[in-house]
Chains A and B, each alone.
Chain A
Amino acid sequence: MTMETETQSQKAFHVDVGNLLAVNPFHSFPSLPASRDELVKECLQEGTKLVQAVADSLFNLPSTEDVDGPLVKLPPPTTKLPREKHLPKPKPLTKWEEFAKKKGIQKRKKEKVVWDEQTGTWKRRFGYDRVNDDKDIPIIEAKMTDEPGVDPFAKRQDDKKKRVEKQEKNRLQNLKQAAKIGALPSHVQLAATALPITGTQAPPKKVTKDELGNVAGMAATSTASGGKFDRKLPGEKPAKKQGKHRKFLPVVEGSGIGSREKEQTESVLNKLISKHSHEILNVGKAVTMYNVKKEKKSRNKRNQEGKSSSATNKLKPKKQLQKKTGKKGPVSSKKGKAK
């Protein structure tokens, strides 16, 4: 093997034992070998040389004996490759930890079981059957500061609930702070439960299924071709057309139907020029209208004649005859105002 390496002008392969990698940057094919087999053979030869070079360094490393065989500790790899994930950021200190650091408070190791004065036994610090549990207290003595109607047991429970809520809030704040930096612990995720309330202070309206179905159609109308050629998702129904449904006549007329266009223009012209006016005019309606108008006119004339002479006289005697009730007043004034 050594003879072959000496024939090479420069032996220096780049060997990276940490990756079991060897690179020969000096080899080149001046002319491609004629057959595939020769090419493969030459590649394998060169490959063998490189692998031998790596093995030289590898087997000379200090090894320890193991059950399966000699174990070697590999040196760290020299070829730098990009990471797959970002570098983990160090956790920021929580508010309590900062306070403790400032004050110099040390962490104390806590015992698993604690002596419970109430029952006189050893109990665990938290969880089922714990020390200082609320349900173990038989009597709470009343103090001067207590209000009369307050249940002290319920008050204890409320206080505990408040403390727990406060602790949860603080925990959330600490996690939010960590999330801001990007150093959230791997098993925790923060999820938003609702969007922020802005402006009108009203919660966002929930969109119904039908409305959602129409939204795509509405958006499509703003495209150049009115959404006609948009690619549809599987299962999407065609958009419902809004507004009037117009029907247009075909450009090329079919034979045997007659000219529809001619009919259309004829009807329009007839309405305008009124060729057969008896078809256009509704005589009965015209007569009623005339009669109603005439009657209105005659009524007006009569009212006007009667109004000026007896308007005030009508009002006064009527008031005297009727009983004194509040409602009658406006009624009588209405009668006087008749047209």
Chain B
Amino acid sequence: MHLYTLQTLRFCSSAIMMRIKTPKNGRVRRELEKRAPKLVETGKKTLILQGTKTSGTLNGVLSEIYHLKKGGAVRFTRKNDNIRPFESGGETSLEFFSLKTDCSLFVYGSHSKKRPNNLVIGRMYDHHVYDLVEVGVENFKSIESFNYDKKMAPRVGSKPFIAFVGEGFENVDELKHLKEVLLDLLRGEVVENINLAGVDRAYVCTAISSNKVYLTHCALRLKKSGTVVPRMELVEVGPSMDLVVRRHRLPNEGLRKEAMRTAKDQPKKKIKNVSSDAIEGTIGKIYIPDQKVGDVALPNKAKGVKRERREAKKKEANERASKKQKEESE
């Protein structure tokens, strides 16, 4: 990934001598262009890693999240003891990994006596930590423990339906934040077109109490109904777990405003000859140039034109006849 040609410049006029590094390979160049900031963003990659100590359940949780997000996730299996998400100095390693793997979401698992089965789900903006949610995992059931017809299993990479149930998601701050983060995590790629035959999975999150959420992954069965819309049936297949919200950190206002900006928010360029009115709506002005009445081609063939053509034909015929006569005579 680090194959660049060097074009060194030796000009002593500039205080700092700089050189331009461009990739020598087309592959490297394409990879860099993929990582460049885009106007409209498609999908976020997830980084899954763990801290000094993990438990059996936590290992299961992390590996199953990785399976669910197979296309857009990176799994680190070594322990990282210098990552402490909620402390000021403990996030530098996370930011470094995020930069190198180009991941904007991370799931960090750790286990301790004070916080058993701890999962920290976080987002990054420009490879700096944007916000964090810390949840504890309880009552984890892995994919293997569910019995279902294997033919219905959802395929990897399909776009999921997401359902949030509960008034807690509107009233409680922490659950609101968790809802946003879970949506980002479970969403997958943002696509314009979707194949209706390929929808086969759904995530259901229910707010059981003011700090507990029940998350489960289901396969969809589309059953025939009278109308175009099929009847949906949910069958639990995947991991299911109880998430207990422990801590969370919201982004500060300025950063949030900057991250929420979209391309449409940019000041619109003024379109000429268009104005808007409160009563009439959008008004446009059209300028019509003066008509040149004399030069316009007439739609109906006027009699005069036909006559001219007849006369021209006659002339030609006469000329040809006279030519033939001349030839014959010669």
A42 to B179 alpha-carbon distance, docked (Å): 20
Is A189 in contact with chain B by the CB < 8 A criterion?
A: yes
Closest to B261 in A: A87
Q: Are A168 and B36 in contact (CB under 8 A)?
A: no
Inter-chain contacts of B240 with A (CB < 8 A): 40
Inter-chain contacts of A22 with B (CB < 8 A): 161-164
Is A98 in contact with chain B by the CB < 8 A criterion?
A: no
Majority SS at the chain B contact face: mixed
Q: Which among A59, A83, A187 has the highest number of chain B CB atoms within 10 Å?
A: A83
Inter-chain contacts of A46 with B (CB < 8 A): 163, 165, 204, 206
Within 8 A of B (CB), among A284-331: none
Inter-chain contacts of B251 with A (CB < 8 A): 82
CB distance from B162 to the nearest CB of A (A): 5
How many interface contacts (CB-CB < 8 Å) are there between A and B? 220
Closest to A75 in B: B192
Closest to A171 in B: B20
CB distance from A324 to the nearest CB of B (A): 62
Q: Are B126 and A86 in contact (CB under 8 A)?
A: yes
Within 8 A of B (CB), among A2-33: 19-29, 32
Is A60 in contact with chain B by the CB < 8 A criterion?
A: yes
Q: Which among B20, B184, B228 has the highest number of chain A CB atoms within 10 Å?
A: B20
Closest to A67 in B: B195
Is B253 in contact with chain A by the CB < 8 A criterion?
A: no
Is A140 in contact with chain B by the CB < 8 A criterion?
A: no
From known contacts A21-B183, A85-B41, A191-B21, infer whether A60 and B229 are also in contact, taking CB-CB under 8 Å: yes
Majority SS at the chain A contact face: mixed
Q: Are A69 and B197 in contact (CB under 8 A)?
A: yes
Is A224 in contact with chain B by the CB < 8 A criterion?
A: no
Q: Are B41 and A26 in contact (CB under 8 A)?
A: no
Q: Are A82 and B232 in contact (CB under 8 A)?
A: no
CB distance from A191 to the nearest CB of B (A): 6
Stretch at the interface among A48-56, A146-154, A208-216: A48-56
A71 to B206 alpha-carbon distance, docked (Å): 31
Q: Which among B167, B194, B256 has the highest number of chain A CB atoms within 10 Å?
A: B194
CB distance from A180 to the nearest CB of B (A): 12
From known contacts A21-B183, A70-B195, A83-B125, infer whether A43 and B256 are also in contact, taking CB-CB under 8 Å: no
From known contacts A71-B193, A83-B125, infer whether A52 and B165 are also in contact, taking CB-CB under 8 Å: no
A21 to B266 alpha-carbon distance, docked (Å): 27
Q: Which among A22, A50, A77, A85 has the highest number of chain B CB atoms within 10 Å?
A: A85
Closest to A26 in B: B167
A171 to B11 alpha-carbon distance, docked (Å): 13
Stretch at the interface among B87-95, B213-221, B301-309, B318-326: B213-221
Is A172 in contact with chain B by the CB < 8 A criterion?
A: yes
Closest to A80 in B: B260
| B163 CB contact (under 8 Å) in A24, A58, A66, A175 | A24
What bracket does the count of chain B residues touching chain A fall in? 35 or more
Inter-chain contacts of A71 with B (CB < 8 A): 193-196
Closest to B105 in A: A84
| B20 CB contact (under 8 Å) in A29, A80, A175 | A175
CB distance from B213 to the nearest CB of A (A): 10
| A74 CB contact (under 8 Å) in B11, B162, B194 | B194
| A186 CB contact (under 8 Å) in B16, B35, B260 | B35
CB distance from A127 to the nearest CB of B (A): 17
Number of chain A residues close to chain B: CB under 8 A: 69
CB distance from A44 to the nearest CB of B (A): 5
| A24 CB contact (under 8 Å) in B123, B165, B260 | B165
Q: Are B183 and A59 in contact (CB under 8 A)?
A: no
A197 to B187 alpha-carbon distance, docked (Å): 52
Q: Are B169 and A82 in contact (CB under 8 A)?
A: no
Is A114 in contact with chain B by the CB < 8 A criterion?
A: no
Inter-chain contacts of B44 with A (CB < 8 A): 84
CB distance from A87 to the nearest CB of B (A): 6
Q: Are A58 and B191 in contact (CB under 8 A)?
A: no
Q: Are A50 and B165 in contact (CB under 8 A)?
A: yes
Inter-chain contacts of B208 with A (CB < 8 A): 29, 32, 39
Q: Are A56 and B229 in contact (CB under 8 A)?
A: yes
Inter-chain contacts of A81 with B (CB < 8 A): 180, 183-184
A79 to B186 alpha-carbon distance, docked (Å): 14
A194 to B16 alpha-carbon distance, docked (Å): 6
Q: Which among A19, A84, A196 has the highest number of chain B CB atoms within 10 Å?
A: A84
Interface string of B113-126 (1 = CB under 8 A from A): 00000000001111
Query: 13 A-B Cβ contacts within 8 A?
Result: A23-B169, A24-B165, A25-B166, A32-B209, A43-B204, A47-B234, A68-B198, A72-B193, A87-B37, A87-B261, A88-B39, A191-B21, A196-B15
Q: Which 10 A-B pairs have the closest CB atoms?
A: A69-B197, A186-B36, A47-B204, A84-B104, A82-B259, A85-B37, A50-B163, A196-B15, A43-B206, A46-B165
Interfacial residues, chain A to chain B (CB-CB below 8 A): 1, 19-29, 32, 36, 39-40, 42-44, 46-48, 50-52, 54-56, 58-60, 63, 66, 68-74, 77, 79-88, 168-169, 171-172, 175-176, 186-197
